[in-house]
Amino acid sequence: MYMDKIEKLKELITNANYIVFFGGAGVSTASGIKDFRSKDGLYNMKYDYPPETILSHTFFINKTDEFYKFYKDKLNCLDAKPNACHNYLTKLENDGKLKAIITQNIDGLHEKAKSKNIYELHGTIYKNYCMDCGKFFNANYVFESDGIPKCECGGIIKPDVVLYEEGLDDFTINESIKHLAKADLLIIAGTSLTVYPASGLINFYNGKDIVLINRDTTSFDNRASLLIQDDLNEVFKKLKELD
């Protein structure tokens, strides 16, 4: 039955002309990056403050030192490598099938895999800027700094990631909506579909088929024309074997 679903996914991909991929934290777990909501995820670890609080705009402003202790300890994924999912998506893009990757992840792994048309809804750890003068800094500068990373002008450097209480980038949202509206196949993978407004974007998809690949159940399962509840890295490994 499992391989029947992989073969069906392959058939849907073959017949599609405009694929959009919408991914969450589960896309990167095979690369050694923890997700947020699973039993081993960041939200189930014990800290002085809940991760949802630490990763908020208010906390960043008021307790910047505590924010960076958590950020440097738990969100440093500079050494992570793309996995089978990232690499297969790059192949689909190179084949002209995949038109857009819409990701909730901030780890930059799609870019490392050489994909090009990527929309990072929640930003990326690889871009950081001074809150005073606007100068940009790379991720190494931030993660290798002592304490709170500072600019030469004395300003505090902030990661270009969307924290709780902050809005999503308008350009990223609008471009994502444009691609979703044009797509004839939507592949959703590795996301609980509980983080809004990002997960609400999939409602702009008007195409026929939706593939949902996720280890756990979601509230969106009944809308999927193909539901695969398994480890998505293994799914994409099997998919590659059918090429």
Q: What's the pLDDT at 48? A: 76
Q: What's the pLDDT at 35? A: 63
Let me know the angle formed at the C-alpha of 216 by 15 and 123, rounded to the nearest 5 degrees.
Answer: 75
Could you say which DSSP state residue 43 is in? G
- Which amino acid is it at 52? E
Could you give the C-alpha distances from 197 to 88, 121, 155, 164, 171, in angstroms and in order? Answer: 27, 10, 30, 11, 14
The alpha carbon of residue 11 and the mean position of all alpha carbons in its chain are separated, in whole angstroms, by 25
Q: Which residue has the higher pLDDT, 61 or 46?
A: 61
Residue position matching structure tokens 């990763």: 55
Specify the pTM.
Answer: 0.92
What is the distance between the alpha carbons of residues 183 and 205, in angstroms, rounded to a whole number?
7
Whether residue 78 has pLDDT greater than 90: yes
Whether residue 149 has pLDDT greater than 50: yes
Mean pLDDT of the chain: 92
Interior/surface letters 108-146, b for 16+ CB within 10 angstroms, e for the rest: bbbbbbebeebbbbbbbbbbbbbeeeeeebebeebbeee
Task: Give the CA-trace dihedral at 198, 203, 209, 210, to 10 degrees.
Answer: 30
Let me know the angle formed at the C-alpha of 27 by 129 and 36, rounded to the nearest 5 degrees.
Answer: 70
Two tokens, residue 122: 């929640």
What is the distance between the alpha carbons of residues 201 and 162, in angstroms, rounded to a whole number?
16
* Residues marked as catalytic: 122
Two tokens, residue 83: 């996995």
Q: How many CB atoms lie within 10 A of CB 94?
A: 12
Residue 37 · residue 43 · CB < 8 Å: yes
Task: Give the CA-trace dihedral at 209, 214, 215, 217, to 10 degrees.
Answer: -70
Two tokens, residue 151: 């600019």
% of the chain residues with pLDDT over 90: 81
Q: What's the pLDDT at 40? A: 46
pLDDT digits (tens, 9 = 90+) for 33-53: 976 544 444 544 556 788 889
What is the distance between the alpha carbons of residues 130 and 119, in angstroms, rounded to a whole number?
23
- Which one, of 146, 154, 147, 103, lies nearest residue 125 by Cα? 103
The alpha carbon of residue 108 and the mean position of all alpha carbons in its chain are separated, in whole angstroms, by 8
Whether residue 28 has pLDDT greater than 80: yes
Task: With H, G, I as helix, E, B as strand and everything else as coil, classify residue 4.
Answer: helix
Q: How many CB atoms lie within 10 A of CB 80?
A: 16
